[in-house]
A and B are shown apart, each in its own frame.
Chain A
């Protein structure tokens, strides 16, 4: 039912702007790319599960927050060699949703199974803990039914949060999420500053804000997946613009450097059904103002194809780390824009 509604929304969104969609499809150039096979090298008997969160630090080390037998946080070096597991058995880990690394190389996880966001120092110690894991026994007598929270969101409680982003001052923004439909801003010490958004498709509303990034000026980009748009806010969370025409944005990332780019993935439905996967899966490269520069990839199980992209890291403009849900995989993708025909 949930998937049916998602499909309906996609159909509605595309049928509302058919001319634009056609122009877009014809006018968008394909960016040639390669993928690095077997990028992550796990020791024997250690397995990736769903590639839910991926992020790199300043040294190029790769962190994956994966739904394996349990939800776990792994670190690999820049060549993909396994380094360590961070915080095994942490009280904040139950159902991975995102990992991001801030400017000081702290590692932040967002967990939709505990409603928690936890900052780990580079040596793996918990340093800031936000949200609170619900009473574990409350989940037992009643089945877990998906429900949106229709009450005003509480400042320090999340309802299946999805992602986190940081500005230059160390403030951070949390997209929250499947239950709540809002973005919340905190200062670097974890004090609540502001919240915006409610469930819906109107101006300023959100339908599953699924991924979040900031640019160098501190503007905030929210992948409003259920509404097939990226909502752009200023640093005080005032809505500035909407970017559309890129399918349903599941994952976004913004490159560093003087000229920043925005990548957004129109990921395939997470069914791992090859027929459904073939209809989407492309990743768009944009200017920060939403101008589409090109796209690459498609849904599928093979290397170089994307099996429901869930997270992207683009610390390097032409070298993306991409985490996929259904192939339990992280790919390193090398873009070759110069080779475009």
Chain B
């Protein structure tokens, strides 16, 4: 009996030790953190889905939100859509300061806002297919792309590419990451959905039909889009130290990165649709480190890809789920943060990873949900510092200010 229990104990110890080895190899450390619901808008200002959030050098926080109602007006045998995304400025305590770009032609369906080194404010809009640069006071100083003229042409030209995210190659790349299965298969007969962020097509595939009717932009193959700044649902913008502009494009028919100089002149485009190294599938978010390397949240391929400033592929990180929003912290030792955001049909995943720039995971925090400290479809991250992040959520209509604890 004694021997029997000793054997059991030994067996248990063996199991425990092998289990701990297993855990040590696969478990990412959790980072302790606090969070507050940051924005305090006045009662008559309704924040909707927070698509973009960014802080400037003064600690102010810019929010680009999908709110209000799209209005359609009737003109010469055509209909025209107006609004309703808004660009709002808050102070360092979350108090509302003012609105920027009220009524501006491009602000239709918010996607991203970023602030450059000179505190210029850049917005990226999915439906106007435009990127607009505002100076720090809020004056329009440069525009990229052109908004389609009518409501119908907005719908047609921004049609999402057929659910490329569910492709076999993309699935293969995700296998090692233990990521969720593509949504298209999970709903059992539901219409296929594109990337998690892209809203569902109506039953009957009206959007798919529209996509088929739109010729490839500029005739370019493989989702490289046009040579210059004509976009298909662009997603994000970043700059290198010289002021060169990088734009990720996008959630529509293009999957590419556009590089322009600081004066808006075309330099090159790279990427293209696919799952090979260097190719992209719904690039959702980008960031550039101090050396000028570009990090792309390659959402449809469930990986982060790293390119040098000339677009040469350098590395890919495939162990952080579905990167939907990324940021790189300032300072001498930079870190990369990436959100494995949930999709609108579930509360799975949702954790945010902290990584070294070489892809080594430092830790993670958070999970999907509605409460403070939980996240709902994170679409943007702003790394104000290594331990202070602003997290913009689509489905919780919220910005959280997250403080990581050492």
By a beta-carbon cutoff of 8 Å, the part of chain A in contact with chain B is 70, 84-94, 123-124, 126, 128-129, 132-138, 140-142, 147, 149, 151-152, 154-157, 189-192
Please report B residues at the A interface, Cβ cutoff 8 Å: 43-49, 65-70, 72, 79, 81, 84, 109, 127, 151-152, 154-156, 158, 187-191, 199-204, 206-207, 210, 344-347, 369-371, 376, 395-397
Give A107 to B84 CA distance when docked, in angstroms. Answer: 24
> Quick check: A189 and B371 within 8 Å, CB to CB?
yes
Write out the residue numbers on chain A whose beta carbons fall within 8 Å of the beta carbon of B190: 151-152, 154
Report the nearest B residue to A94, measured CB to CB. Answer: B69
- Chain A residue at minimum C-beta to C-beta distance from B79: A140
Who on chain B is nearest to A190 by CB?
B370
Q: Which of A123, A129, A154, A192 touches B376 (beta carbons < 8 Å)?
A: A129
Are A156 and B46 also in contact (CB < 8 A) when A141-B156, A149-B203 are? no
- A140 lies within 8 A of B151 (CB): yes
Give the docked Cα–Cα distance between A129 and B67 (Å).
14
> Are the CB atoms of B188 and A132 closer together than 8 Å?
no
A132 to B395, CA, bound (A): 7
Give the interface SS of chain A, mostly helix, strand, loop or mixed.
Answer: loop
Question: By the criterion CB–CB under 8 Å, are A137 and B369 in contact?
Answer: no
State whether B189 touches A91 (Cβ < 8 A).
no
Say whether A155 contacts B345, CB under 8 Å.
Answer: yes
Residue in B closest to A191 when the chains form the complex, CB atoms: B347
Q: How far is the CA of A192 from the CA of B45 in the complex (A)?
A: 29
A156 and B69: CB pair below 8 A? no
Q: Tell me whether A90 and B67 are in contact (CB under 8 A).
A: yes
Which residues of the other chain, A, contact B210 by a CB distance below 8 angstroms? Answer: 141
- Enumerate 9 A-B pairs (CB-CB under 8 Å) in ascending A order: A85-B44, A91-B46, A129-B376, A132-B344, A140-B152, A141-B210, A151-B191, A155-B345, A189-B369
Contact A138 B206, beta carbon cutoff 8 Å: yes
Chain B, interface SS category: loop
Q: With a CB–CB cut-off of 8 A, which chain A residues contact B370?
A: 128-129, 189-191
Q: A91-B397, A149-B203, A156-B344 are in contact. Are A140 and B69 (CB under 8 A)?
A: no
Q: Which residues of B contact A141 (CB under 8 A)?
A: 152, 155-156, 206, 210
B344 engages A157 (CB within 8 Å): yes
Closest to B374 in A: A189
Interchain CB contact under 8 A, B346 and A155: yes
A93 to B397, CA, bound (A): 14
- Name the 6 nearest CB pairs between A and B, nearest first: A91-B48, A135-B199, A136-B70, A190-B370, A90-B46, A89-B68
Q: Whole-angstrom distance between the alpha carbons of A57 and B265 in the complex?
A: 60
Say yes or no: B188 contacts A137, CB within 8 Å. no
Asked if B46 contacts A138 (CB within 8 A), the reply is: no
A156 to B202, CA, bound (A): 16
Given A152-B187, A156-B344: A137 and B376 interface contact (C-beta under 8 Å) = no
A91:B68 contact, CB within 8 angstroms: yes
In the complex, what residues of A have CB within 8 A of residue B347's CB? Answer: 156, 191-192
Q: Which single member of A89, A132, A137, A190 contacts B81 (CB below 8 Å)?
A: A137
Q: Which residues of chain A have C-beta atoms less than 8 A from B156's C-beta?
A: 141
Set of chain B residues within 8 Å of A133, measured between Cβ atoms: 49
Partner of B155, one of A138, A149, A156: A138
Whole-angstrom CA separation of A8 from B47 in the bound complex: 45
Contact B397 A138 (CB under 8 A): no
Q: Please state if B346 and A140 are interface contacts (CB–CB under 8 Å).
A: no
Query: B68 → chain A, closest Cβ, in Å?
Result: 5
Q: Tell whether A91 pairs with B66 under 8 Å between CB atoms, given A151-B189, A190-B370.
A: yes
Given A140-B72, A141-B156, A154-B345, CB of A147 within 8 Å of CB of B397: no
